Structure 1
Amino acid sequence: MLSTLEESGGCPISGALQTLSWSVLVLHSGVRSSVGPLMGVLLVSNMGAAIADVINDALVAESVQKERGKTKGELQSFVWLALAVGGVIGNFVGGLALSWMSSTTMFAIFAVFAAGHLLFSSFVKERSFNFKSLSRQRKKNIDLMEKSSSAIDVLKVQAARLMDLVTLPDIAMPLAWFAASYAVIPAMGGSIFYYQAQYLHIHPTYLGLAKVMGQMGLMAGSVLYNRYLKGSSPRKVLLAVQVLLSACMLSDIILVSRMNIRLGIPDHLFVLGASAFAEAIAQFKVLPFSVLLTQLCPSGSEGSLLAFFMSCHCLATILSGYSGTYVASMLHISVDNFTGLPMGIFIQSIAALIPLFWISCIPATTHKLAAV
């Protein structure tokens, strides 16, 4: 399916969808004040972003086929480092801009960036990335597209190949662990954010800086992984990340119980510390797992597998959000009542440790599988 998307110009489609959605927000103020139309526009924008992410993953996955020995994992680390740097700059500049720009102006800037993406991607072809040779599987995909008279036929064949791949035990078991490691955690981030903003009245500037600090943590984690951890056992790395994630989640109890005040730490400084890094750690976990999948995947199928993996990640995150909403409802957490929030944080932190019971699904060492 990745071959079909790439050859049909997926990046221009992505840019067009995002340009359209942000332009609508700029030109029609009524859309911004109505929940239904606003959700529709944001859905279109997110679809465009998702298409771009899929193609980026495919390009990275195809490029890492040339990595050998000590260079394995370096490209993914560099990509995550670039992502973190972009996040730091974007959150910092965006936080400053919000203090003197209207939302309409901000939406217009987003639309201009999306239009630039559309223009640039329209002139960039996959062959310009100078891949020296196509894999045997990739050549089969292209030959199939040339011979087939129907895109549906191509998608059916590609979907069947993807199913054959993801049902392999060596692929299915790690994928199941990773998806479950997110899905079993009831996400309390929304409740914690409302507590910080509505109850503690922490200035939005500090909440924005917390995002910047989290992205800086992600940047540091990417460098640390590339230098010291990429050769380590993937099972040990993911186990350590999961434990660290649980600890950072649990640290929010210090804020909710007001223990930080007794320790002389102001609220706005505390959110710039451990509270800011839980989200960054959850993002960082994708890096070692994507490296693991690339090492396990048969040559020629990396792009499709990485795209499927990110889809599983998104689905697991959605399930985590819904379960977090359910837990918040059961504990009667609302904008006016945060008495149950410490228990919600504790449940979230303990749930983050549950995947450790089946950490054996992650291989201690890796080996490349034969082509499907």
Structure 2
Amino acid sequence: MKIHSYNQRMFSTSTLLPLQLPSRMETHLWYVLPNEVNSESVLSRYVDLLSPLEKDHVFSIRDNQLQKTALIARALVRTTIARYQIRPQVSPKSLQFRKNAYGKPEVDWENDNDWPPIHFNLSHTSSLIACGVTIDSPIGIDVEEKKRTMKNKILSFAKRYFTNEEMEVLRAISDPEVQRQEFIKLWTLKEAYVKALGRGFSGAPFNTFTLRFRPANPNHEDSEIVIVPLENQSLLTTNWQFAQLDLAGSHYAAICRKTNGGNGAVSSSKSVPPKNKYSLSSISCFGVDLTPDNIAVAMVYFVQGVLGLARLAVSFYLKDDLHLDPAETAVITGFSALPWLIKPLYGFISDSVPLFGYRRRSYLVLSGLLGALSWSLMASFVDGKYGATFCILLGSLSVAFSDVVVDSMVVERARGETQSVSGSLQSLCWGSSAFGGIVSSYFSGSLVDAYGVRFVFGLTALLPLLTSAVAVLVKEQRFRGPLRGQGLSTSFIDTSKDSIIELWQAIKQPNVFLPTLFIFLWQATPHSESAMFYFTTNKLGFTPEFLGRVKLVTSIASLLGVGLYNGFLKNVPLRKIFLGTTVTGTALGLTQVILVTGLNRRFGISDEWFAIGDSLIITVLGQASFMPVLVLAARLCPEGMEATLFATLMSISNGGSVLGGLFGAGLTQVLGITKDRFDNLALLIIICNLSSLLPLPLLHLLPDDNSVNKNEANEDDDVELKSN
């Protein structure tokens, strides 16, 4: 690969000397050091080059340094492309850009056939911005500072992204400084390849392909680089060419460009099967490609939803068979959520103790079997509240563990993506869960009426086996075991120590801790679901079959809520979503007082129809308001701690929900509400709903759009290397 590099110190915007287009075998690399551009007049001229949308984006960035970097980056692209003008009317300001389906920027010529097929790619650090240009060849570049240090251990960080083969190469380097440098070099090469593919980080995670050097030596510039796809071979193509070089004496730069098998450090000649246009990966749902991994994720969430088949059966079992009061039922419901409070532990276990060589597949299989066991026990042997509590806990553990496994896959794909892409991923998950709820909801009541709760528990025992079955869809490298001389227990302890230290370092950062505090308080307000269930069944006489119909409506409403968020709210600032949905939800939640007092009947509305309509509206809004919690949690996770930190954040959120349930149980007890007395139920509903407004003065704890993901402030398709 022939490379020409150009340093634009204070690149002019008024007079651009025309430059010959690179040949089809050449790559031009332009770079600028932002610290060298300090003239206000020059920066002002850069602003004049930008489109209105670019100006809005740049000036929405509050951090002055990030704003300056974003401005220079866009000016660099415009002036660089304009240098290759082949017609006089082309100027930096007149250039227009578009993005491909995965967000990679491209030049948008008025008539593509009349212009040269210019490809470009941008990368940046806080101290250097680079732009690579090729003709008729897709390109990806990445730059990183040579002196970049890691607060965490290199190997601990690298294992989250690199393959086993790449990890073995790093482990073989005894000198810590050399190991650090080789890690950074490998990172830049892998990121350049991902960016050249143009599908975003979620489309080609680092651990789905290996970069192999031939001959294996530390000097990558003289090595042939071979791409070895571990999955998705139709997407992870191998006809690419690499180069690595120093920039400004302070940065490593990696370039990846497509080749037809020419000269240079050419990648593997391994043939690539043609992409089938009818393959599942070409089908999308909620804007997400249905790859085997994503199908597995969706199916696990579907199982979470379809397990609602037993929800009504459990409620009636606790009320009618065990004769428990509303407060006791609320306490058992709260305890059933305990497995969701220790989700990080499952992350530590699955990361450090692979079963049969796999960290994901095996645990999905185990989770499914555990869930089947718990519901089988409920269907046959359980006959007391303690046994029921144990089995419900066991079933909850099964779902929570599988949830951690698939959430790690989701968060890896959300890393470095925009709020919109993260929202689409979460919409796929929760849309699948809502669809599962729709499938099971109607029958959940009619089956209880017709066959009893034991039959429903037995039928439910079959559903977790779907989680075990879809484990085969997960593409995962087989783990080869601990290093020689290192026992599994030692590996687990060391890894857990490192993970706990990393977790603490991440959580104590204000940009993570403060939003997490808000989510906890937002979830910790009391609620009155148990008391309302007893009121509707014992006072209003709602049958299991009718409640099944209500459940069907709420499941459809949940899916509508996901659609509402995905279609209209995923680009709305998080603070506005929380404010709007909380205030509106409080107002709508108070309508339950109308049902409790019987006011609806005065207007000719039956209790049944009012309950259905009320549940529909409240559920749509509730699901739409919960989606931002998931998106925020996913986007707060810095690189290297995605799965563990996301599990921790969701555990804290679940802890708030459990605390809210216990507060509700306490209020139910204090107000004297039992399975037969509902005199103060209206007061309980009012207290619970108004309390949801209490966290709103703390909305400032949430990040604004500019601070959630600083990568977006500079360039949408660049994934920064960070440590915590």
Give me the TM-score of the superposition, normalised by structure 1: 0.87
Q: What is the match of residue 588 of structure 2? A: 248
Q: Which has the higher contact order (CA 8 A, sep 6+)?
A: 1
Q: What is the match of residue 476 of structure 2? A: 127
In structure 2, C-alpha distance between the alignment counterparts of 1:340 and 1:198, rounded to whole Å = 15
In structure 2, C-alpha distance between the alignment counterparts of 1:364 and 1:119, rounded to whole Å = 41
Please tell me whether residue 361 in structure 1 is matched to residue 701 in structure 2.
yes
In structure 2, C-alpha distance between the alignment counterparts of 1:37 and 1:61, rounded to whole Å = 36
Please tell me whether residue 371 in structure 1 is matched to residue 723 in structure 2.
yes
In structure 2, C-alpha distance between the alignment counterparts of 1:371 and 1:289, rounded to whole Å = 24
Q: What is the match of residue 551 of structure 2? A: 211
In structure 1, C-alpha distance between the alignment counterparts of 2:627 and 2:509, rounded to whole Å = 22
**In the alignment, which of 392, 402, 412 is matched to residue 52 of structure 1?**
402
Structure 1 range deviating more: 315-324 or 107-116: 107-116
Q: What is the match of residue 324 of structure 1? A: 664
Q: What is the match of residue 166 of structure 1? A: 507
Q: What is the match of residue 157 of structure 1? A: 498
In structure 2, C-alpha distance between the alignment counterparts of 1:244 and 1:206, rounded to whole Å = 27
Following superposition of structure 1 onto structure 2, how do residues 322-361 of structure 1 map, counting pairs within 5 Å?
Answer: 322-361=662-701
Q: Rate the CA distance shift 1:41–1:95 in 2: closer, same or farther, 3 A.
A: same
Q: What is the match of residue 139 of structure 1? A: none
Give me the TM-score of the superposition, normalised by structure 2: 0.46
Offset of 1:253 from its aligned partner?
A: 0.6
1:61 is matched by which residue type in structure 2?
V
The answer for unaligned runs of 5 or more in structure 1 is 129-141
Offset of 1:241 from its aligned partner?
A: 1.6
Identify the structure with the greater strand proportion.
2
Structure 1 range deviating more: 93-102 or 185-194: 93-102
**In the alignment, which of 21, 24, 42 is matched to residue 374 of structure 2?**
21
Q: What is the match of residue 631 of structure 2? A: 291
**In the alignment, which of 145, 151, 176 is matched to residue 517 of structure 2?**
176
In structure 1, C-alpha distance between the alignment counterparts of 2:433 and 2:376, rounded to whole Å = 25
Offset of 1:337 from its aligned partner?
A: 1.6
In structure 2, C-alpha distance between the alignment counterparts of 1:145 and 1:220, rounded to whole Å = 47
User: Which deviations, in whole Å up to 9, do the C-alpha atoms of 1:152-204 show, x marking residues without a partner?
Assistant: 22122112211211111111111110111121x22111111111111111232
Q: What is the match of residue 41 of structure 1? A: 391
CA contact (8 A) 1:241 1:285 kept: yes
Offset of 1:3 from its aligned partner?
A: 6.3
User: Which deviations, in whole Å up to 9, do the C-alpha atoms of 1:56-84 show, x marking residues without a partner?
Assistant: 21111112237458534211112111111
Q: What is the match of residue 132 of structure 1? A: none
User: Which deviations, in whole Å up to 9, do the C-alpha atoms of 1:77-123 show, x marking residues without a partner?
Assistant: 121111111111111232333333343332222222223433443x4
Following superposition of structure 1 onto structure 2, how do residues 59-74 of structure 1 map, counting pairs within 5 Å?
Answer: 59-65=409-415, 67-68=417-418, 70-74=420-424
1:153 is matched by which residue type in structure 2?
D
Please tell me whether residue 194 in structure 1 is matched to residue 539 in structure 2.
no
The answer for unaligned runs of 5 or more in structure 2 is 1-343, 711-721
Aligned CA-pair RMSD:
2.4
CA contact (8 A) 1:4 1:145 kept: no
Give the 3-state SS of the residue equivalent to 1:358 in structure 2.
helix
In structure 2, C-alpha distance between the alignment counterparts of 1:118 and 1:176, rounded to whole Å = 35
Give the 3-state SS of the residue equivalent to 2:572 in structure 1.
coil
In structure 2, C-alpha distance between the alignment counterparts of 1:109 and 1:146, rounded to whole Å = 44
Q: Rate the CA distance shift 1:204–1:97 in 2: closer, same or farther, 3 A.
A: closer
CA contact (8 A) 1:17 1:48 kept: yes
Q: Rate the CA distance shift 1:344–1:27 in 2: closer, same or farther, 3 A.
A: closer
Offset of 1:325 from its aligned partner?
A: 1.3
Identify the structure with the greater helix proportion.
1
In structure 2, C-alpha distance between the alignment counterparts of 1:280 and 1:69, rounded to whole Å = 21
Q: What is the match of residue 89 of structure 1? A: 439
In structure 1, C-alpha distance between the alignment counterparts of 2:564 and 2:622, rounded to whole Å = 16
Equivalent residues, number: 354
Q: What is the match of residue 117 of structure 1? A: 467
CA contact (8 A) 1:206 1:272 kept: no
In structure 1, C-alpha distance between the alignment counterparts of 2:521 and 2:480, rounded to whole Å = 37
Please tell me whether residue 5 in structure 1 is matched to residue 360 in structure 2.
no
Q: What is the match of residue 268 of structure 1? A: 608
1:39 is matched by which residue type in structure 2?
T
Give the 3-state SS of the residue equivalent to 1:161 in structure 2.
helix
In structure 1, C-alpha distance between the alignment counterparts of 2:636 and 2:650, rounded to whole Å = 16
CA contact (8 A) 1:4 1:154 kept: no
CA contact (8 A) 1:144 1:154 kept: no
Q: Rate the CA distance shift 1:80–1:119 in 2: closer, same or farther, 3 A.
A: closer
Q: Rate the CA distance shift 1:318–1:234 in 2: closer, same or farther, 3 A.
A: same
| Percent identity over paired residues | 26
CA contact (8 A) 1:207 1:271 kept: no
Q: What is the match of residue 453 of structure 2? A: 103
Q: What is the match of residue 132 of structure 2? A: none
CA contact (8 A) 1:84 1:218 kept: yes
Offset of 1:13 from its aligned partner?
A: 2.4
In structure 1, C-alpha distance between the alignment counterparts of 2:403 and 2:435, rounded to whole Å = 17
In structure 2, C-alpha distance between the alignment counterparts of 1:38 and 1:72, rounded to whole Å = 38
Q: Rate the CA distance shift 1:247–1:71 in 2: closer, same or farther, 3 A.
A: same
CA contact (8 A) 2:416 2:709 kept: no
In structure 2, C-alpha distance between the alignment counterparts of 1:336 and 1:27, rounded to whole Å = 30
